[in-house]
Structure 1
């Protein structure tokens, strides 16, 4: 269970190595059609089942180009947001952007601009996979940047610009996401398309292979990554079973940049994840 939660988090983090007003995933899932300026917040907690194919070498253990594994397991689903004046914190387990701290710079009915702090990518290493015993640990990063959102009818356009401030790699990430929601009776359907540029410094920190690492691992070769662009597609549905309970399900596909797909630490050129959850709304 613990290992699956870590791998589940990694798969979501990869879909935001391609990372992501409010988080765009949460907004379109809820059918939001304007920027949020309300004080206070919300929280929902539940359990979900995830099925995914991870492109990272050794996640789960034994994942190889000639032995692609599908991982299935339960996860704790936590979604919440709290705003005080112009400061806010967000945490969305199933989102491409996960955790954000921020400050609202501009907000009207159609536009929102925020300064944010958020990770670009998470930890990779031997604590999570025995296959990484002879590889250096890749510590997770933390970045600062801006998030710009535009709302038009049921459509949301969001730009996200981040630069690492943790000292792990000092790389950058820039993403554009477009989302739309449809309301049919009590069912809320959504679709999301996105493209994310990631600099070579980020890719090399997490997926580059040094000469020493290659020498210590017979199935790996030395590799230095360049910059690249990943593409994300997601569809999903949410249904309020009652005032306190909500059902959600979504499928996400990620097409990896060549700079990632060519790394010996990736075993395929795409990622797939299917999530289904039932949550209690406080």
Structure 2
């Protein structure tokens, strides 16, 4: 399982890349890593592996935002008659359910239902005693994926259907890969826009909360963040796979919240893993 330090860092990462479009009718990052043909049918799979990661960024806890650790990851995808369920994929959503409503040679459109992870609570850090626990949001929307030569462009927009944040998140992502012998290199770059309602729910401080805590009242504002990654995949055998990835992005906008103990305008991180696919 992930260490407590990694859980804290992962929570910040969830906010910084919330609903970034790292997914396709399966998963765009996985599609690039596996060098899949754009017209191939989505793959059913179950994967389990061990990983190591390190990163630095803003921190909501009393930690300094520099984290290292090891963990176990599980992911999978099941596809049937254009319906799909993705679990633990390379997105901020732990579970995504969708329907591929349209597909042509160069375009694909999915209807999506997903859920965020939970937000801050008194269990996150003692600093948040008196802050109302932020619940997960159920996000409903769509994503459009286009293929342009070796490049994949994806845009998505999702709205909180449960009404907790009542916020909207939109994103755009561009990626491509390069095959060098058995090594598959890939790069991803994107922008994520979260509206004021979404950021205010997860990172705002109400007057009532400010009155019983040490935080100043704060209204969340709309934010635009940049997210990017470069990585390499190597098939050790038919079932075993090695991956390594470096991440970097910006924390502008939502980073203004007084809930952050340590503020950095950018985050960086590296990770590597060995996985077995069933």
The 1:11–1:261 alpha-carbon spacing in structure 2 relative to 1, beyond 3 Å, is: closer
Q: What is the aligned counterpart of 2:205 among 202, 206, 209?
A: 209
Q: What whole-Å deviation, never above 9, does each CA across 1:219-240 have from its counterpart, x for those lacking one?
A: x321112212111111111111
Q: Structure 2: any 5+ residue segments left out of the alignment? A: none
- Give the structure 1 partner of residue 181 of structure 2: 185
Structure 2 residue 258 is matched with structure 1 residue 264 = yes
Contact 2:76–2:89 (CA<8 Å) still a contact in 1? no
Rounded to whole Å, the distance in 1 between the matches of 2:178 and 2:12 is 27
- Give the structure 1 partner of residue 241 of structure 2: 246
- Tell me the SS of whatever aligns to 1:223: coil
Q: What is the aligned counterpart of 1:28 among 25, 32, 43?
A: 32
- Aligned-pair CA distance for 1:5: 5.2
- Aligned-pair CA distance for 1:190: 0.8
Q: Structure 1: any 5+ residue segments left out of the alignment? A: none
Rounded to whole Å, the distance in 2 between the matches of 1:121 and 1:273 is 20
- Tell me the SS of whatever aligns to 1:204: helix
Q: What whole-Å deviation, never above 9, does each CA across 1:135-188 have from its counterpart, x for those lacking one?
A: 221111111000110123321100111000122111101100000111111111
Runs of 4+ deviating beyond 6 Å:
none
Equivalenced residue count is: 272
- Aligned-pair CA distance for 1:263: 1.2
Q: What whole-Å deviation, never above 9, does each CA across 1:231-251 have from its counterpart, x for those lacking one?
A: 111111111111111011111
Normalising by structure 1, report the TM-score. Answer: 0.88
Q: What is the aligned counterpart of 2:86 among 84, 90, 97?
A: 90
The 1:191–1:15 alpha-carbon spacing in structure 2 relative to 1, beyond 3 Å, is: farther
Contact 2:27–2:89 (CA<8 Å) still a contact in 1? no
Contact 1:53–1:272 (CA<8 Å) still a contact in 2? yes
